[in-house]
Structure 1
Amino acid sequence: MAIKGEGPWVIGAMWSLTAVAFIFVVLRAYTRIFVVKSFGVDDHVYNLAFIFLLLDTIFTTVAVDYGVGQNMSDVIQNNPSDLAPALIFEAVSQSFAIVGMSLAKWSLGLFLLRLVKQQWHKVAIWLSMASLMCASITVCFVYWLQCSPPNYLWDRTILGGRCTVDTAPASMLLCILCVVVDFFLAGFPWLFIWGLQMKMKEKIIILSSLSLGVIAGAFGIKRTLEVPKLKSPNHTKDPVGLIVWSAAEMTVTMICIGIPVCRPLYKKYLSKRSSRNSSKYREQNSGAPYPLQTIGGSTMYPAQVQKKDSTSEASVKEYERNGVGSLYTKNKIFTKGLRGDMVRIRVRRRFWGLIFGGVSNKMLRHATAGINNFIIYIAGNKRS
């Protein structure tokens, strides 16, 4: 059957969300296996959540091909035999979406359990995850057992069949609980991540990514507003918004978890890129000497040393060739030459300061001042 009505945008949105989630699944798996080399339970749950999202998308695509997204009257008029497959594939996709949302939040909760220290933090996270999973499983049973006989849910040709259970209250409760858990998992990490021993930049990145759960909560609110459409008799068209917003909430939750976990991969890529640029620079400047590390840890490039110490071999030969010059010229060359002596004095001061750590700075200043005067006196006699 040709895809009509709301079908095209539903398929496009579902597969786009699945593709984004798949990118984070691959990056996360690579980071955990090859970079961090620590694949935990939260990673397995994360992959399982993606499998449920993928199955949700596949069954939704099949349901759309049979007529979901169109008015039920049009499906019955054009091809009545497509109505039953459309409804049953829609029901299967909704089941994967309901459980998949809980699995995505379980993966986030298990990730946070790696970071928390206090017992009540762990209890709060476990309580939110357990309540959400129980609600999801309950809604699945209610959804499949709402009709009598149960197969009347997708086969409306059964005589005497009817749906006696209203699934809207249970679905509404689940949607509200999902929104509450989204906001809880987005704000709760701010209580304990600030106390962890890591760089401030790392804390901000983790907290910012986890705070994207607020967006998942916003999608959950939009999905909650679509729940009353479950009561609509036009069951092939009206609930399509609920299907798409469920997938969007699940995808955003997976992105929230994927960003902080993939941080080591990003740092490794940057380090490789910087080392590659450094080696390229050294190849281009192979004739230049390497930078020197001073005792204090700062980098001193040879060009800077030559600038400070102008008593190079060329300048000495030039001075000797000129023989007698003006007093200004002698003093100028002599003064420039002393700069190198002063640099060496400062380096010696740092060196002896590291060796004799118990000696006070005042005593070191007096000692180095005496050495300074002695070196200036000797250097002056040699050059005069």
Structure 2
Amino acid sequence: MTIGGEAPKALALMWSFVTVTWILNLFMPFARIFIEERRPSSADYVCSLSNVFLLLFAVLFHIAAGHGFGQSMPSLKASEASLAVKIGMIGQTFAILGMAIAKTCLGLFLLSILKGTELKWAKRLISTAFCSLLIDSIVTTIIFWVQCRPVTKIFDIRVEGTCDINVTPFAIALGVWCIVVDFLFALMPWFLFHNLVMEARDKIQLCSIMSIGVLAGICGIFRTLAVATGFTANYTLDTVPLIVWSAAEMAITLICYQVMSLCRSWRMVRGRLRKDSTSHHDSANAEGNSIDVHRMDGIPRGDKVARRTYESLRHGCNEGFTQQLTRVWCPDNDTDSTTGILGPDGRELATPVNSRICVKREVMFALLE
């Protein structure tokens, strides 16, 4: 059977979403291994799993379109219509679970940012949000498949049986909770990340990328509205908006995490380029000297982080940061403490602890002019 009706437009949109997310997903392992020089995180694996679910979602509805998805159900043969609905239900199962997995990916990323901080309430809120969403998705999926007895009654109107459960309220509740989680994860960084030890520019960039989740929330609103009208007798045609909005919401959620991860890799590349330039400058200035001398006169008076680090080194202790100080690098009046003070993992909040740093030789640290 030829693909017709609303299916071509729906499939074009779905495959566009799949293409974008998979291109970004293939770049992520490269960035982790060769740029950041570390193994992929748990959030990366969860993101890849959600990408697989999105791909299966698109593949199954492409197959369903060959049996009548996107066309009016009365115009289809009963055998073709039942097969289209059956394949579509399998596809929707991957969409329901994949949606929750995509939100979990963002939740794990936020938890990694807050690791080592005292914001326990925020950690609990984030964990509760994506865990409850996963549970809700599983429950909705089960109800979706057991709403009728026998199960074949759901997708084949020729089969005798009864449908005792109305799945629509459960699907709407899941859609509403997805919207809440989207807006929660999109807006929380603006309130939590102001104490991060990094440049204001990087904070704004991180929060702005997380705000892409607002678009996912908007898609979720349209998807939830489509749920209320999609489960009708004309299932093959009336579910088209539901399918498209589901794919859009899942894809935007994944893109949010993927872009954020790749931007982090780009910041590391940028930092290394600056470091190489500064190292070359230091080698030229320090040639012939027995001790490393870095000028301090270029530090702005308001740069409390750089001055406190210098004073801590002078007195042999560092009471302002949680991590061991391995290097201080402040090139070109750049006080990026993310890479310069706390090292490549400097996105954690700094909380006061008593720790000591032993300096083997006298070193004067300065902000290079």
Match runs of 1:301-320 below 5 Å: none
Structure number with greater Rg is 1
Distance in 1 between the 2:15 and 2:295 partners? Answer: 56
Report if the CA contact (8 A) 2:35-2:269 is conserved: no
Of 96, 104, 107 in structure 2, the residue corresponding to residue 106 of structure 1 is 104
- Which residue number in structure 2 is paired with residue 150 of structure 1? 151
Higher RCO (C-alpha under 8 Å, 6+ residues apart): 2
Residue 164 of structure 1: how far off its partner (Å)? 2.8
Residue 83 of structure 1: how far off its partner (Å)? 1.6
Report if the CA contact (8 A) 1:167-1:230 is conserved: no
Structure 2 residue 60 is the aligned partner of structure 1 residue 59: yes
Q: 1:11 to 1:206 in 2, by over 3 A?
A: same
Residue 75 of structure 1: how far off its partner (Å)? 1.1
- Which residue number in structure 2 is paired with residue 210 of structure 1? 210
Distance in 2 between the 1:268 and 1:106 partners? Answer: 25
Note the residue ranges of structure 1 that are not aligned, 5 or more in a row: 279-291, 299-354, 358-384
Match runs of 1:277-288 below 5 Å: none
Runs (4 or more) in structure 1 with deviation over 3 Å come to: 267-276, 292-298
Distance in 2 between the 1:149 and 1:87 partners? Answer: 15
Residue 93 of structure 1: how far off its partner (Å)? 0.5
Report if the CA contact (8 A) 1:168-1:230 is conserved: no
Moved more, 208-217 or 227-236: 227-236
Note the residue ranges of structure 2 that are not aligned, 5 or more in a row: 278-283, 287-293, 298-361, 365-369
2:40 counterpart SS class: coil
TM-score of the two chains, using structure 1 as the length reference: 0.69
Distance in 2 between the 1:227 and 1:264 partners? Answer: 37
Q: 1:254 to 1:2 in 2, by over 3 A?
A: same
Residue 267 of structure 1: how far off its partner (Å)? 3.8
Aligned AA for 1:184?
L
Aligned AA for 1:83?
A
Distance in 1 between the 2:145 and 2:230 partners? Answer: 13
- Which residue number in structure 2 is paired with residue 365 of structure 1? none
The count of residues paired between Structure 1 and Structure 2 equals 284
Distance in 1 between the 2:94 and 2:128 partners? Answer: 22
Larger proportion of helix: 1
Residue 199 of structure 1: how far off its partner (Å)? 1.4
2:183 counterpart SS class: helix
Distance in 2 between the 1:258 and 1:297 partners? Answer: 39
Q: 1:196 to 1:273 in 2, by over 3 A?
A: closer
Structure 2 residue 36 is the aligned partner of structure 1 residue 38: no
- Which residue number in structure 2 is paired with residue 200 of structure 1? 200
TM-score of the two chains, using structure 2 as the length reference: 0.72
Over the residues paired in the alignment, what is the CA RMSD in angstroms? 2.6
Report if the CA contact (8 A) 1:31-1:264 is conserved: no
Percent sequence identity is 35
Distance in 2 between the 1:128 and 1:138 partners? Answer: 16
Residue 260 of structure 1: how far off its partner (Å)? 1.8
- Which residue number in structure 2 is paired with residue 220 of structure 1? 220
